[in-house]
Amino acid sequence: MSVPETKLHPSNNELERDSLNELTLRALITSKEAGVVIGKGGKNVAELRESTGVKASVSQSVKGVQERILTVSGPLEGVAKAFASVARILTENNTNKSLSSTTDNTCTIRLLVSHNLMGSIIGRQGAKIKSIQDVSGARMTASKALLPQSTERIVEVRGVPSAVSMAISEIGQCLLEDKEKQHGTILYDPVASPMLKEHRASITRTGNGSDFTPSGEAGSHQRRISQSLEDEVKAQHISIPSDMVGCIIGKGGSKISEIRQLSGSRISIARVPDDETSERLFTIYGTAEANERALFLLYGELEKEKERRLNSVMRESVEEEQ
């Protein structure tokens, strides 16, 4: 029996309108896990909502896409309890076994977190993430790479359901305290990238390095579809703290010129910062692939600058002690 599902990709404005005490957390799950979380006739997800007081839904199933988004919104305590319930449901059905440890009741939850907020979770020299692990008993891993066509990364939380709940409560508190940093987040959509992968899979490499597709009208049609998908120009927006913009522009504009050249995207920068956030808006124009490269390069420069500043502070601290 098919269950009507609500598409779950809340806009950035919707996320920003959440009250100070409420949190929206998204997690990446497989299609198989989604079926278990929803339950027969929507039973499991309905019980989860009722027992925790949260809003919880799973994104629509799309043919050929193996991953879906679980979104949970509500008070922090309810969100943490909801993810404990999800972990419990998955472990009871052995759905998450391939991601868990050898302990049967251990589960891995893959949270989607804005790149801008990763520092809040990791902390200086990893102190915060270590503290969360010590307090909760869960193990955590933060990915370094941005997910395709987004500014989100994955934080894996692994443990028994109670440990997962405690860790997510601590993570949620970090996110709430620095909530303004999520401004400009480009949300990950698993439906957006597999389409290109699927079409590229139809192109086979020959021994001499030339490409070919099936001959005749079908092959020509595939080439047209693939080309139109790759050539579609999109605009994406990210906001960057004003005091970090200089490291991206570089001396005489050298760094931003290099990023434009390497990515193939056009990048414009707002002349004045936002009155409320003091952040400058970057607008990136290009194909999906070009924009993804541009985002990777932009955030790479930010990370290098953060590391440079941290090292500088540490050196000054050592010098003062001496």
148 pLDDT above the threshold of 70: yes
201 pLDDT above the threshold of 90: no
Domain boundaries, the chain: 12-182, 234-315
211 pLDDT above the threshold of 60: no
147 pLDDT above the threshold of 50: yes
| Top CATH class, 12-182 | alpha beta
| Residue 18 contacts residue 71 (beta carbons within 8 Å) | no
Which carries the bigger pLDDT value, residue 289 or residue 172? 172
Q: Which two tokens stand for residue 232?
A: 């579609």
Least confident of 77-86, 176-185, 267-276, 292-301: 176-185
Question: 12-182 with 234-315: one CATH topology?
Answer: no
18 pLDDT above the threshold of 50: no
- The pLDDT tens digits for 51-76 are 999 999 999 888 888 899 999 999 99
288 pLDDT above the threshold of 70: yes
| Top CATH class, 234-315 | alpha beta
**Residue 274: predicted pLDDT:** 82
Which carries the bigger pLDDT value, residue 159 or residue 307? 159
Q: Read off the pLDDT band of 237 (50, 70, 90).
A: confident
**Residue 7: predicted pLDDT:** 43
Least confident of 85-99, 227-241, 308-322: 308-322
Is the pTM higher than 0.85? The answer reads no
Q: Read off the pLDDT band of 231 (50, 70, 90).
A: low
212 pLDDT above the threshold of 50: no
Q: Read off the pLDDT band of 23 (50, 70, 90).
A: very high
**Residue 197: predicted pLDDT:** 40
140 pLDDT above the threshold of 80: yes
10 pLDDT above the threshold of 90: no
Cα distances from 283 to residues 63, 152, 194, 245, 309, in angstroms, run 32, 17, 24, 13, 26
Mean pLDDT, the chain, whole residue set: 79
Q: Read off the pLDDT band of 85 (50, 70, 90).
A: very high
**Residue 12: predicted pLDDT:** 52
